[in-house]
Chain A
Amino acid sequence: SQTIHQWPATLVQPVGSPLSLECTVEGTSNPNLYWYRQAAGRGLQLLFYSVGIGQISSEVPQNLSASRPQDRQFILSSKKLLLSDSGFYLCAWSGTRGQPQHFGDGTRLSIL
């Protein structure tokens, strides 16, 4: 069966520091991969998605970036974090068209 791993679960970072969140999927090949952010009490905001290695689509302008160095690995990065980057970051994967997305456990990021 397919599993998705996301880490770390919680992260506290100072303003201006870099960020790297990693997500890996097991048990499937060529998944579609997604990064979402959920602010407290709000809906899911799609940040990036990828349909293949090296293919990244950005949904909102921001100081975040994403990379997909391997088929089942998706990385969310920032060179300098802002206070507004605080939130709950979720990685997700899906299979072929029409299939639902499945989420990792999420990373709760607090910027101080």
Chain B
Amino acid sequence: RKEVEQDPGPFNVPEGATVAFNCTYSNSASQSFFWYRQDCRKEPKLLMSVYSSGNEDGRFTAQLNRASQYISLLIRDSKLSDSATYLCAVNINDYKLSFGAGTTVTVRA
């Protein structure tokens, strides 16, 4: 089983729609969780950290489900500029993160 798995998508949604996707992880001892956004041919950029209580940043909401070992990202009121690949990252020890292969989201006008 891979350390971190994501649905590759693509998720094609109209502007204004809500889109949500999950990331499952295999190490029950993981403590740190992150969502990154990666645009085509660019570096990943930190979108948000995921806290145990769940957290929200504008139109983005991240949640952690420890019992089922997954994190989720929800995007409300999608904008064209939200089109990107979203990578989840989970710590596997004090120094290393394991990244998922990414979920592609395409927002259409």
A residues with a Cβ closer than 8 A to B are 32, 42-44, 46, 49, 51, 88, 90, 94, 97-106, 108
B75-109: contact bitstring with A at CB < 8 Å (1 yes, 0 no)? 00000000000010101001111011110000000
Nearest chain A CB to B66 CB, angstrom units: 16
In the bound complex, residues from chain A placing their C-beta under 8 Å from that of B94 are: 97
Contact of B99 among A44, A99, A106, A108 (CB under 8 A): A44
Nearest chain B CB to A76 CB, angstrom units: 15
Does any Cβ of A come within 8 Å of B43's Cβ? Answer: yes
7 pairs, A vs B, C-beta closer than 8 Å: A43-B99, A44-B99, A51-B95, A88-B41, A97-B94, A101-B97, A104-B43
B residues with a Cβ closer than 8 A to A are 31-32, 34, 41-46, 49, 87, 89, 91, 94-97, 99-102
Nearest chain B CB to A30 CB, angstrom units: 12
Closest to A42 in B: B101
Closest to A50 in B: B95
Contact present for B46 and A106 (CB under 8 Å): no
Contact of B87 among A44, A94, A99 (CB under 8 A): A44
Contact present for A43 and B46 (CB under 8 Å): no
In the bound complex, residues from chain B placing their C-beta under 8 Å from that of A46 are: 96
Contact of A49 among B43, B91, B96, B100 (CB under 8 A): B96
Nearest chain B CB to A22 CB, angstrom units: 16
Please measure, in the bound complex, the distance between the C-alpha atom of A43 and the C-alpha atom of B90, giving whole angstroms: 14
Contact present for B101 and A43 (CB under 8 Å): yes
